[in-house]
Amino acid sequence: MTRLTVLLATTALFTGVALAQNDNSGLGHVEGVAPATGEAPEAAGQPVETNPPNAPDQQPASADQTRAPQPAEMPQVEATVVADGLPHLWAMEFLPDGRMLVTAKEGQMMIVSAEGQAGDPIDGVPEVASEGQGGLLDVALSPQFAENQTIFFSFSEPRDGGNGTSVAKARLVEDGDTARLEDVAVIFQQMPTYDGDKHFGSRLVFAPDGNLFVTVGERSDPEPRVQSQDLGSGLGKVFRITPDGEPAEGNPFIDQEGALPEIWSYGHRNLQSATLDADGTLWTVEHGPKGGDELNQPQPSLNYGWPVITYGVEYSGAKVGEGQTAAEGMEQPVYYWDPVIGPSGMALYTGDEFPEWQDALLIGGLVSQGIVVLHTENGRVASEERVPLDARIRDVRVGPDGAVYAVTEQRGGGDSSIIRLTRAAN
């Protein structure tokens, strides 16, 4: 196991140590390409973001909606590479014994030991459409995993005429040093099928009532993106389903003619971060346009605006639609970033390693190349800090040891690493 230790401060003492090589050349304007730049603030109470906005003429709806101040207390953090040389990872989930179940974009699933040793690829994973942003995406354990060994995973499913995000469940069966999936069944398919390679989402989060939240994208292109506003379309939505893939009881549109009964909320762009807070409430972060990543607390039946309203601009610099940031009947984001962070993966911190982060939201940053820490109060963002890691962060989890684990990726493919964040020794 290769181990590399660096000291960081969340006041943004950039290490200059590359945990992964990040070749962003020639990739186009998708999912955040340009790394963060600019001088980091040195004092608590000042916003961590100092770069100029992409949409300087746009104003937040409230003073606390963007560029929150840094908190007064921020821990010193030590980052250690636990595992490297892994395929292009997308998600990870801790098994009850402390091992890590990981997904790789190209369609592999494997188990990584607590010491960082990767096992052989797990047999039985269905075919995925791995072009562009597609592939094997999120993974979640059944709330009854100890009894039924069932896992759930999302993936871009190849279909006649294109592809789409689907959710499957299977039993994870281990036999000595090998593992396989049995009883694989697709329980949910985002429809309509579309022939594209962008904006699949997707994250899976089990609610306290045992139902499953599924987040999906709107497929990016101008033609399908407008379907985020269409209750008869599965693009750009948060869904709430049972573990068998049926619409969950109490869904807001379950009895509305012409609406998909699985829908929880709509008007989303490309949701790749989701978690529950201490009260069991869902939070999401979605990729926005250039200068429009946003944090939401999706509520049943509500419309979050895309593409009618949004902060930020098209990657070309043009307005998105009419350039509106607010409209009647459409929700404002709790918080937004301009410039973007490139969000992917999110966890609620509940461990003992970092008491300063208790109940904070930890968000992976592909563009900001680190972890974004949001402290919330009464449903609003009170402060924001950054843990710079000089690597694109695809997923974030809190381990059973209270440490924070992050999955790195290279934008053009190639190896991934798993890094572990602990409190630095005084």
Residues identified as active-site? 199
Q: HEC states along 245-268?
A: CCECCCCCCCCCCCCCCCEEEECC
Cβ atoms of 366 and 343 closer than 8 Å: yes
Instruction: Specify the amino acid at residue 318.
Output: A
Which among 240, 283, 285, 233 has a CA at the least distance from the CA of 263? Answer: 240
Total residues belonging to the chain: 426
314's tokens: 């098209």
